[in-house]
Amino acid sequence: MNSRCTDKRGSALIAALVYLAVVTAFATAFITAIDRGMDIQHTAERHMICRNLAQGGVDLAIAELGKDPGYSGTRAMPLGEGEITVRVTRDAEGAYSIASTGQLRDGAMIRARYSARAKVRLTENGAVEGLQWVDSTP
C-alpha cells in the first residue's frame, strides 16, 4: 500500500480561485485607469469651454467698444453652457483694459473658471486696435 497522500481533490478549485483573483485585480486596475482618464478629459473639456467663454467676452467687449466707447462691461451674462463677466476700464493714455472671465456653474458651485485680459485702443476712425492679450487662469 502506498503511504503517500495522492489525493488531489480541490486543487482545481484553488487554481480557479487564484485565477479569478488575478483577473479581478487586473479588471479593477483597468477600470480605475479608465475612470481617471475620463476625469482628466472632462476637466480639460471644461477648461477649454471656459477659455472660449473668456475669449468670447473679450471679443464682445471689443465689438461693444466699437459701437460705444463708454461701454464698461457686463456681469454674469449667460452664454452657451456657461456665463461671462466682462469689465472694461480706461487708463490715462486712453487705452481700454478688458478683463473677461468665463465660468461653468453647477447650481451655486463653480465647476471651472478661466480669465482673459486684453488691452485695446480706439483709433481716430473708430476701429479697435489690439495692444496686448493675456490668457490666465485664476
Q: Residue 102: give the domain boundaries.
A: 11-136
How confident is the model over 73-120, as pLDDT tens digits? 999 888 878 999 999 999 888 899 999 999 998 877 888 999 999 999
Long-range Cβ pairs for the range 41-46 (8 Å, 24+):
43/112, 46/104, 46/111, 46/112
Confidence (pTM): 0.73
Cα–Cα distance between 61 and 31 in angstroms, integer? 45
CATH number of the domain at 62, please: 3.30.1300.30
Residue 5 lies in a domain: no
SS3 content of the chain, % helix, strand, coil (to 5): 40, 35, 20
How confident is the model over 16-63, as pLDDT tens digits? 999 999 999 999 999 999 999 998 998 889 989 999 999 999 999 988
Identify the band that residue 66 occupies on the pLDDT scale cut at 50, 70 and 90: confident
**What is the structure's pLDDT at 130?**
77
